[in-house]
Every structure is written in structure tokens, then in C-alpha cells.
Amino acid sequence: MHNRMMITGAGSGLGREIALRWARDGWRLALSDVNEGGLAETLKMVREVGGDGFTMRCDVRDYSQLIGFAQACEEKLGGIDIVVNNAGVASGGFFDELSLEDWDWQIAINLMGVVKGCKAFLPLVQKSKGKIINIASMAALMQAPGMSNYNVAKAGVVALSESLLVELRQAEVGVHVVCPSFFQTNLLDSFRGPTPNVKAQIGKLLESSPITAADIADYIHQQVAKGEFMILPHDEGRMAWKVKQQSPQAIYDEMATLAEKKRAKSKAF
């Protein structure tokens, strides 16, 4: 192992914490984000804990930028051992309120951004017999109401990861998908939704989450080492997924009730 890792969305939140977790093991990191200030800050923190690397501004919607990033990884680090497709944006709103632009934006970043990251970095990760870690969400598995575009994009990331898992086994490339529930993050800064109170509700959910992005990065580190494909960092997420696998209808009923509550709340404002 040459200990070289690429991370998209590394300027804040989970991307930054993943960088720091691997940096503590002395890894060299290729960090990208659209937020250059946050990126510079992440690199500084990475160096403080014993890692090193470089940063590059990269919008995951633009495949040519991802190809450029992969080339930079080859030039500066001689290749890549772990690819982390983490860049993502939050979204919400009931289906009838969401515009097609809301759908395009969500799928372009949260789904196609991961597809393009995998495609641009596949030659490097095949060469190193490395690993791909795609960051999805519990929304991919549970489909909470009032965020269908986010649910669909993240479910696509899970399906992509499952496809790569089986296609790349022969090439000895490991594949992992991570499905965090809500956690304290600045994902809300990028939030787009038709009603401001949806944002406030998600904010409340985030505040009530006791697990931090650093805890999640730690858990990912541990599960990747174990070779676990589906990584569910939250206890309640693991429990909910078990219930859904056994009796999906119970989850649908619960979600339908939640949808009624959510709709009543948004009407109240």
C-alpha cells in the first residue's frame, strides 16, 4: 500500500474528517472541493496531524475537472489507493413542490458526481488494486418523505456501488458504500428547498444527532479495514435497515405517518 487517498467534498464536514482520520496514519491526501477556503483549512489541519498532500478546486459536475484531478494525483502522488466520492448537497421538499431543476441539480451532484468520480479514477484504482468508498445516505435505504430527489440520487449511489462491487472483484478493487443518517455537518449551507421551514426541521434533526462527523470517519476507517461493503455508522440506522429488510410495510406505514406530520407542519407556517 502506498497510502494515497483522494477525497471530493473535502473542504468541510465528513470529507474533512475522513481526511484527518487517514492523515493520522500518515497518508498523503488529494483533496478537492468547490470551496477553496475550506480546502486550504483542511490541508492545514491534515499537516498538523501528520499527513500531507495537495488541494485542487473541483466541481464534480464537470467530468473534465475530475479527469484533471486524477492526472494531478498521478503526477504529484504517483497514483491513488483509495478514492472517496463524498461531495454532496442536501435537498428537500414534497414531490409536488419540487421543480425539475431541483431534480437535475440533485442528480447532477449527488449521483452523477459519484459516477464521474468513479469513472475518472477507475484506471488509477485498478492499477493500485485499491478501494472505492462512495458516501451515500440512510435516505438511500429508508426514503423519508419530503426529499424524493435526494432519496433517488442517494439510492443511485448505493446501486452504483453494488454494481461496482461485483464487477470489480476480479480486478481486486474493493468497494464500500457508507450510509450515514443525519449528523452535525454544514450540509445545510448548501440546502435547497421550496420552504424555509423544511430547512429548520432538518436543522433540528441534525442538532439531535449525538454522533459527529469525526465519529463517522472513525467508524468508516474501522469497517473499511474489516472489508465491510455496506457501512451504516448509526445504531438507529442499522436497526431501521434491519426492520425494513424484514417487514418493509412497517417502515412504509411509519414514513406515511411522518409525511402527514411534515405536511401539517409546513401548512402551519
- C-alpha dist (Å) from residue 128 to 124, 169, 206: 6, 14, 37
Task: Establish whether 252 is a catalytic residue.
Answer: no
Measured CA distances, 70 to 12, 38, 67, 185, 245 (Å): 21, 20, 5, 27, 38
Sheet holding 28-33, edge to edge: 52-57, 28-33, 4-7, 82-85, 131-135, 174-178, 230-231
Cα(113)–Cα(120) distance, integer angstroms: 10
What's the grid cell of residue 112?
A: 452523477
Residues noted as catalytic: 150
